[in-house]
Amino acid sequence: MAAVTDAVVPRAPSLLAKTGTAIRRNPTIFFGGTILLILIVLAAIAPWITGDPLKLTPSQRLRPPSERWWFGTDQYGRDVFARTIHGARVSLVVGLSVAAFASVIGLTLGLLCGYFRKVDAIVMRVMDGIMSIPSILLAIALITLTRPGLGIVLVAIVIPEVPRVVRLTRSVVLSIRSQPYIESAISGGTRGAKLLIRHILPNTMAPLIVQATYVCASAMLVEAGLSFLGAGVPPEIPSWGNIISQGRSFFQIAPWSILIPGAFLTLTVLAVNLLGDGLRDRLDPRLSRRM
């Protein structure tokens, strides 16, 4: 009798073991996501963990990294640590908002282009036109025409990113349209917006999410570039681009004021791209086992 109760019951894998399996299966998603998450948390709590990024301490100019100044100070005696962490806010806000706006606009236009042939002919020519404008020059032109600010930087970066999303979505929609399940839905009487929203839209999401991560990474780089050129966010808002730009003339004496924000930029873009690569592998039904 007792022997029955002694039967080995397979134990459910512990949470730790499950996490371990998940990391081994998708290391890129895990590492990219973790780095990004840490940066987002740091940026969010920046005012509580750092000092004022604009506070000048002339007696402490060009100090190397130390216990008091973790990342050193710049030529005006500003805390590079505070500036770098605050700079993450600009980069993340720009990256995420550009990804969101470009995806929503691009998805809408791409769906319409893939679905309606007449819209396609017109919109795609406009997109070709936008793609032929150098994005940095467009941004500089827009910013010189208006007052500098985060808003106009976003607009300037979103415009050249939209055509890439439109092209992707359109091609995905075209390939979905020839799928038998669309014909099956049509013969079942599904038509118009319902066909678009219920059958086509959900199946475009996977490639779109992956594209959004690349747009995000590219937007961060463009923003840094614009700020470096002085055409980005105004200098009173620290961003990685303008920190590097301001530290440029003191590079030989105080390399930390360039290298550290530069390293953060590289790391962030790398993390976003890793996440994108991981998601691409994970979301591609041909490459992944379905959950």
Do the Cβ atoms of 159 and 143 come closer than 8 Å?
Answer: no
What tokens appear for 21 in the block? 């399996």
CB of 174 to another protein, least distance (A): 16
Q: Which is nearer to another protein, 61 or 177 (CB)?
A: 177
Q: Can you tell me whether residue 79 is helix, strand or coil?
A: strand
Q: How far is the CB of 290 from another protein (least distance, A)?
A: 6
The CA-atom distances, in angstroms, between 85 and each of 60, 110, 173 are 19, 36, 40
Coil/strand/helix, residue 73: strand
Minimum separation from the CB atom of position 289 to another protein (A): 11
Helix-strand-coil split of the chain, %, nearest 5 = 75, 0, 25
Q: Which is nearer to another protein, 58 or 189 (CB)?
A: 189
Identify which of residues 181 and 251 has a Cβ nearer to another protein in the complex.
181
* Residue whose CB is less far from another protein, 10 or 180: 180
Q: Which is nearer to another protein, 203 or 273 (CB)?
A: 203
Q: How far is the CB of 12 from another protein (least distance, A)?
A: 22
- Distance of closest approach, residue 285 Cβ to another protein, in angstroms: 7
Query: At its nearest, how many Å lie between another protein and the CB of residue 114?
Result: 16
- Cα–Cα dist 224/235, whole Å: 12
Considering the complex, state which of residue 114 and residue 261 has its C-beta at the smaller distance from another protein. 114
Phi-psi region of 192 (alpha: psi -120 to 50; beta: other; left: phi over 0): left
Q: Which is nearer to another protein, 131 or 185 (CB)?
A: 185
DSSP state letters, 197-253: IIIIHHHHHHHHHHHHHHHHHHHHHHHHHHHHHT-SS-TTS--HHHHHHHHGGGTTT
State the number of CA atoms in the 13 A half-sphere of 287 facing the CB.
11
CA distance 17 to 284: 25
- Name the site residues for another protein (rule: CB under 8 A): 179-181, 183-191, 194, 198-199, 202-203, 285, 290
Query: Residue 205 CB, nearest distance to another protein (Å)?
Result: 9
What are the φ/ψ torsions at residue 79 (nearest 5 degrees)?
Answer: -75, 110
